[in-house]
Structure 1
Amino acid sequence: MLRRLVHVARRTSDRLHGETRTQRTRRRELDTARPSGADPDAHEYRVELTLAREQALAALHWTGDVADPVEVTKTMEGLALRDPGVPFVRLGSSGDGGYVIPDDLEGVVACVSPGVADRADFELALLERGIPCHLLDGSVPRAPLDHPLLTFEPTFLGPRDQPGWTTLRRVIADVAPPEGDMVLQMDIEGWEWEVIPAAGSDVLSRFRIIVLELHDLHLMATRSGLRRVQEVFSALSQDFVLVNLHPNNYEFPISWHGLSMHPVVEMTWLRQDRVQSVGPGRYPHPLNAANSPDLPDFALDPRWCAGTGLKPSGAASRATSV
């Protein structure tokens, strides 16, 4: 299967453009990031996928959907990463499936977790703290674990109710306690861009902490992609403060107009009324860890949150830039 994906990615890359000298240089640059002992097919797939994405973005100048790099940069710089004056904790695994959140779970009555697939390390950590969890995912027939405080719904989360799909508003109405704060942990493969704006501030404000995996963030290079990113950031910033930011290292960052665009980024948001004090955030947070310990961890483009006076961490200088 992986060899087939490599072949498809290579063919896509070849179709978009014949490989130029610059692209050959970029391929060699990506190849140097291959760790010793890594699966060669898996690494080649990641390289081919990255090159295909970069060539697709380069071809946008032929369309009306290309974003202004200046506006993309302003959006990245304008996002504020803050230290909320609350201790942090990492829940879940030490790699993929673990998330860094404020250790502010006292009184939380439930967790809603759409998009679980075959693992629920984060949810298990909450269950062990006595916090009930409601999981939903239409791609699997059952939850990956059994627990008396866990419920599961084999359906997808989307912006509207329809067969096989539900909404955050409906989930809260059906399974959430009528009062009390909750946690939202969402990894729904791109549907977050529609779910968050459709939810409304009254629904989102039921959550004390929101943990998101944002997918295809490199499509900020398109006008339509940039608009949806701005819409989601605006919706969240009404009632929440961004407190943690971490790129997923399973995929290489995409190079575009001198910017490093990460396809998948993890974000943690804390509701504003839970903030004890506001200071500049720290990136990377020392509790963050590579999703895959066998692959290099990548540094975020320094323009992210550049206007908020981030406190540099020693790990920032050790992260790989490609």
Structure 2
Amino acid sequence: MEVSRIPKNKLEALIEKLQPYQTDKGLVRLGPNGDGGYLVPNDLEGIVACFSPGVDLTSGFEENSCKLGMEIYLASVSVIKPNLNLPDDIYNFLSKYIGCTNNKDFLTIDEWVKCVKIEEHFDLLLQMDIQGQSIVQF
């Protein structure tokens, strides 16, 4: 299989964009204290959906996002069903890995978002904490 290489200047441009920067927004916690909870900028108004690949035993971040009015989209093969204190019809769960290709087990994040038919101009939130995921598909 041939793997295409990213030009060095594009990779450097991406790394530059990933640098932290100061905002005028304070932080707010979504999810529990400890595992499954995260501090995010308090700039969540207008975000219509939260995408969360790599679901595990806790989903407090996603529950809090739902309570803020966001649609919730979760994906994982590591659980049969997310551990949420929400009715099943309130969230969307996909039993697939989110990866770099589309096939019966994997879906790219672009294809995932496209499948749920959210308009391009809407603001979305990505919560991704997937350390320990060892499956890679090329």
Task: Tell me which interval the TM-score lies in, with the shorter structure as reference length.
Answer: 0.7 to 0.9
Structure 2 SS opposite 1:90? strand
Unaligned residue ranges in structure 1 (runs of 5+): 1-78, 195-322
Work out whether residues 158 and 166 of structure 1, in 8 Å CA contact, stay in contact via their aligned partners in 2. yes
Q: Distance in 2 between matches of 1:121 and 1:104?
A: 18
Cα distance in 2 between the residues matched to 1:123 and 1:80? 25
Counterpart for residue 90 of structure 1: 29
1:173 pairs with 2:114? yes
Determine if contact 1:112/1:182 at 8 Å carries over to the other structure.
Answer: yes
Residue 47 of structure 2 corresponds to 108
1:158-237 superposed matches below 5 A = 158-178=99-119, 179-189=121-131
> How far did 1:129 drift?
1.0
Render the CA deviation track for 1:49-73: whole Å, top value 9, x for unaligned: xxxxxxxxxxxxxxxxxxxxxxxxx
Matched positions, count: 114
CA distance in 2, matches of 1:87, 1:80: 18
Q: Deviation above 2 Å: which 4+ runs of structure 1?
A: 79-82, 146-149, 188-191
Return the alpha-carbon distance in structure 2 between the equivalents of residues 176 and 111 of structure 1. Answer: 14
Let me know the Cα RMSD of the aligned residues: 1.8
The answer to whether 1:99 aligns with 2:38 is: yes
Q: 2:43 is matched by which residue type in structure 1? A: D
1:156 maps to 97
Q: Tell me which amino acid in the other structure corresponds to 2:25.
A: V
Q: Which amino acid in structure 1 is aligned with residue 97 of structure 2?
A: F
Cα deviation digits, residues 212-249 of structure 1 (max 9, x gap) = xxxxxxxxxxxxxxxxxxxxxxxxxxxxxxxxxxxxxx
Aligned partner of residue 81 in structure 2, secondary structure? coil
The separation in 2 between residues aligned to 1:190 and 1:139, in whole angstroms, is 11
Deviation at residue 81 of structure 1 after TM alignment: 3.1
The structure carrying a bigger helix percent of its residues is 1
Identity %: 35
Contact 1:131–1:149 (CA under 8 A) maintained in structure 2: no
- Residue in structure 2 matching 1:118, options 33, 48, 57: 57
Question: Partner letter of residue 77 of structure 2?
Answer: G
Q: SS of 1:124's equivalent? A: helix
Normalised TM-score (structure 1) = 0.34
Paired amino acid for 1:175: V
CA gap of 1:80–1:155, structure 2 versus 1, over 3 A, is closer
TM-score normalised over the length of structure 2: 0.75
